[in-house]
Structure 1
């Protein structure tokens, strides 16, 4: 297929983007892939680059880990279960010919991103083991039906997907600056489009808790903070980007949204399709030409689809969000 000109590509993409079902499912992925020449992920060479990936043991995170390892990246994989982490490391080493001690290093650290003690220990380990950090990927996080709390008392979704990543980014920021141009990539969700920005309502109470709504609120906070990180630190050579993977068929979706998974199953993306833009943001040069963007299928997207959420996104609320997250993270 001949490459379409830029204006026609944009028009075709906008048509796909309008209905969520075509945009978020594998229909959108396959159509957009054919709109223009997408560089094959196998063509990227990440040799010598250090990539820290959280949530690397299943679903999209595991698919991303496999592709990044195949591209030659030095990987630090983070998950809560050390034994499971190590099985993934061993599989990747066997598949790529990498090592867990030298050359293309593939290692793991057990940490719960919702536990700030774990996050600090993780950062210390990374700083001790690696003199550079090229890419930090925040992918950890689950949608839970029942409300849980982190060790510090923060609601668990917010703790693991907002507070923990904020703390880790803060602790590793100077290493990222020293490795510039570097990247911080946050895996968000299309569900964030339904949530407004309100600090006082970020954590749902036990009485009002709904897993999907809590997840959306945390994902909205991630995307907002991504833009704020770029505004504050982008000039130092660190490129901050967030993305959503569309609707992908993963163990997490099966467990947390079984009815949705069953109904939408034939249209759901594969984990590899969900991970495509994540790996592309890690490896391609185009993301270095911008900062603070939100992506789907290798194209920058608006962070609002509805006027009701856009009107909540004020400078005052953004500052309030940043200050509360920083205070809760202890930085």
Structure 2
């Protein structure tokens, strides 16, 4: 048995097993969705990079936000599109670990950037005279690098702990590889204790990010209540951030509930949508929300469209 469990080199993904009757339609819709995600994110990134008037902390963070959206969706969509065209849905052991690293680090980086955005709005509205000192470009770059590098290390540590486990099954009932499901395949549950501790530490770190965002908005709302000017700033710059945050938390929590509690009575196609919505809704909606809501970006995009049509 020890010889058998040590040679697993391929995982079988069974999440698509009940939806393959609609393979052509699903492939077309998925490809369209991915193309739109690429279009809206790349458009916003290029617009911010090329326009020097948008080289401000809020827009730089938005640019990084969109880059992370491209990073995360690239870890899922190409493989998923390939599976829709393939009769057998498999992924190599190493490819599975890479996918876990990309998708989990994407989610953690997203929350980190949302926390940075909340801090940026807190400083801009609650401490406007110190804004340019506190949120200098040098400090912003350091913060972005730190909040991008930290998830890579944390998730990388979790991946290393997974790689040491001996697995008894190559079957994953999911559209993509999931950390927790791989750990449940371990032959010796006692060996997974360290994995669980590391997972809970990671969760605790990013729950603290959520607490920080709530704390920031408590101060923001207190400051904005008695000031018409601050209320206007809040509606202009904080509402898109709040919408992004709520969308992200809703999609992640819904997926965690599905993963942890099973929801076995629900149809497979619905469970599939729940599983991938954090890879579809935030990367698709965030650039659209910020593009329409933030005046500078909206005006810049309008100028580009006007020049092309004239």
- Highest CA radius of gyration, 1 or 2? 2
The structure carrying a bigger strand percent of its residues is 1
The structure carrying a bigger helix percent of its residues is 2
The one of the two structures with greater contact order (alpha-carbon pairs below 8 A, sep at least 6) is 2
User: Could you tell me the TM-score, scaled by structure 2's length?
Assistant: 0.28
